[in-house]
């Protein structure tokens, strides 16, 4: 997503965020702060999870969308609003508009997850499916705004949006006044910028760490260049932070106020999502799990108490299934092996007995007999195993080799 918003805008200050907090009273939930014993043990200091995945519409996006739309003039409200989004921003704009009595139109990609499309419609927006990538959807929304006079509601590149997102920072300071580090996922930078404005004004000693997916990390090169730059085609499962260019407005705030920007891999995102589900009993989308991924990747580098912001929980069930499988593999909980056996009665039973001894659970078995690389009496067996972690994977492989099997990985 390569978004641009015209400026300039006046600089954002703490009073703007406090004003947004008053505006959101009774609209946005003050979401829970949950302790994580597992992450606390890993980091060696208290770790708390700020659960914006439990916010109305399932993410923090309602905050900024409501503040932005509430600030429109009566003439602008009468013209309606339009947005482009594959998910969270769409739902935030739809609900905010409904609460304020403003007509909303949301453009979504043709391939947007059906639950997100249905939720956006249920919140009251007129949904138009256009384009197969968000850039095409964005262009359609902007053209609609030009043709109809509807106000385009940017997902992150506007002071009102940033002020609304910054209310999360005020809540963090109220709920965890002893916090020393806040870790937050970053796409275009609106959430991190808003939190930084609020937190640094009140507690300049608090370290703020932004986290981007390695395949969509537009901030590191932009910060190095001193201005927003595009990275081309971002690639990541974390669609909530899949942005190809920082916003012009949040970039200056991130540059001046965010202490560090880190990147995490797809494997780390998968493992973090799995951890949130298994250990914290929280459904979190990949973008929302990015702060946890950063903690898992380098736990000793964070000064506690730490607050990791779970920014959203709107994950498509099909993606959840794939991500969980990916996370299980990354955590060493699945093992795929290929072996060659003599094609005779009882050979497979003997193999399964060997696996039973090392307590590996067989999920699936495949046979190949027609590969020209196989001898006349050979069969290749492909195994999908459920294991207990990386050490158990090594134990299983070693046991099979010790039993005389050719393990091909």
How many other C-beta atoms lie within 10 A of the C-beta of residue 213?
Answer: 29
In Å, what is the CA distance from 323 to each residue of 233, 234, 339, 373? 21, 18, 27, 34
* DSSP letters for 76-136: HHHH-EEEE-SSHHHHHHHHHHHHHT--EEEEE-TT--HHHHHHHHHTTPEEEE--SSHHH
Q: Are 69 and 27 in contact (CB under 8 A)?
A: no
Using the structure block, give the residue that is written with the tokens 């990916």: 326
Looking at 271, 290, 311, 397, which residue is catalytic? 311
Integer Cα distance of 241 and 220 in angstroms: 14
Q: Are 239 and 189 in contact (CB under 8 A)?
A: no
Q: Tell me 165's DSSP state.
A: H
Taking phi over 0 as left and psi of -120 to 50 as alpha, with beta for the rest, 297 belongs to alpha
In Å, what is the CA distance from 115 to each residue of 26, 309, 311? 26, 24, 18
Nearest alpha carbon to residue 195 among 66, 86, 60, 74: 60
Alpha-carbon torsion, ordered 184, 308, 292, 33, to 10 deg = -140
**Is 61 designated active site?**
yes
Nearest alpha carbon to residue 5 among 228, 290, 311, 259: 228
Looking at 50, 61, 116, 242, which residue is catalytic? 61
**Is 311 designated active site?**
yes
Q: Which residues are catalytic?
A: 61, 311
């Amino acid at each position: 997503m390569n978004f641009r918003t015209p400026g300039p805008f006046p600089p954002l200050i703490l009073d703007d965020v406090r004003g947004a907090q008053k505006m959101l009273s009774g609209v946005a939930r003050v979401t829970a702060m949950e302790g994580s014993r597992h992450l606390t043990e890993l980091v060696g200091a208290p770790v708390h999870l700020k659960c914006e995945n439990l916010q109305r519409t399932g993410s923090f996006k309602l905050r900024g969308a409501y503040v932005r739309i509430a600030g429109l003039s009566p003439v602008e409200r009468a013209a309606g609003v339009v947005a482009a989004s594959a998910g969270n921003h769409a739902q935030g704009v739809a609900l905010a508009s409904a609460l304020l009595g403003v007509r909303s139109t949301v453009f979504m990609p043709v391939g947007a997850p059906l639950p997100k499309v249905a939720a956006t419609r249920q919140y009251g927006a007129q949904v138009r499916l256009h384009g197969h990538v968000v850039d095409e959807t964005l262009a359609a929304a902007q053209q609609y705004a030009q043709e109809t006079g509807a106000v385009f509601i940017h997902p992150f590149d506007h002071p009102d949006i940033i002020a609304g997102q910054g209310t999360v920072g005020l809540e963090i300071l109220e709920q965890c006044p002893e916090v020393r580090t806040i870790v937050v996922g970053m796409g275009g930078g609106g959430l991190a910028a808003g939190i930084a404005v609020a937190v640094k004004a009140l507690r300049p000693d608090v370290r703020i760490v932004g986290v981007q997916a390695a395949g969509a990390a537009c901030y590191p090169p932009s910060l190095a260049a001193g201005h927003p730059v595009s990275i081309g085609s971002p690639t990541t499962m974390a669609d909530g932070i899949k942005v190809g260019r920082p916003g012009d407005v949040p970039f200056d705030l991130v540059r001046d106020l965010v202490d560090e920007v880190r990147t995490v891999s797809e494997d780390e995102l998968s493992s973090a999502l799995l951890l949130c589900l298994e250990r914290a009993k929280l459904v979190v989308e990949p973008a929302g799990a990015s702060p946890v991924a950063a903690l898992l990747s380098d736990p000793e580098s964070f000064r506690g108490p730490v607050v990791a912001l779970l920014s959203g929980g709107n994950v498509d069930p099909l993606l959840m299934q794939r991500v969980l499988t990916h996370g299980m593999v990354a955590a060493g909980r699945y093992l795929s092996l290929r072996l060659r056996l003599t094609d005779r009665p009882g050979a497979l039973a003997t193999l399964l007995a060997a696996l039973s001894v090392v307590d590996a659970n067989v999920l699936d078995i495949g046979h190949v007999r027609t590969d020209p690389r196989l001898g006349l009496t050979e069969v290749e067996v492909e195994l999908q195993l459920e294991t207990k972690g990386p050490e158990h994977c090594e134990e299983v492989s070693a046991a099979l080799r010790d039993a005389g099997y050719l393990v091909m990985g």
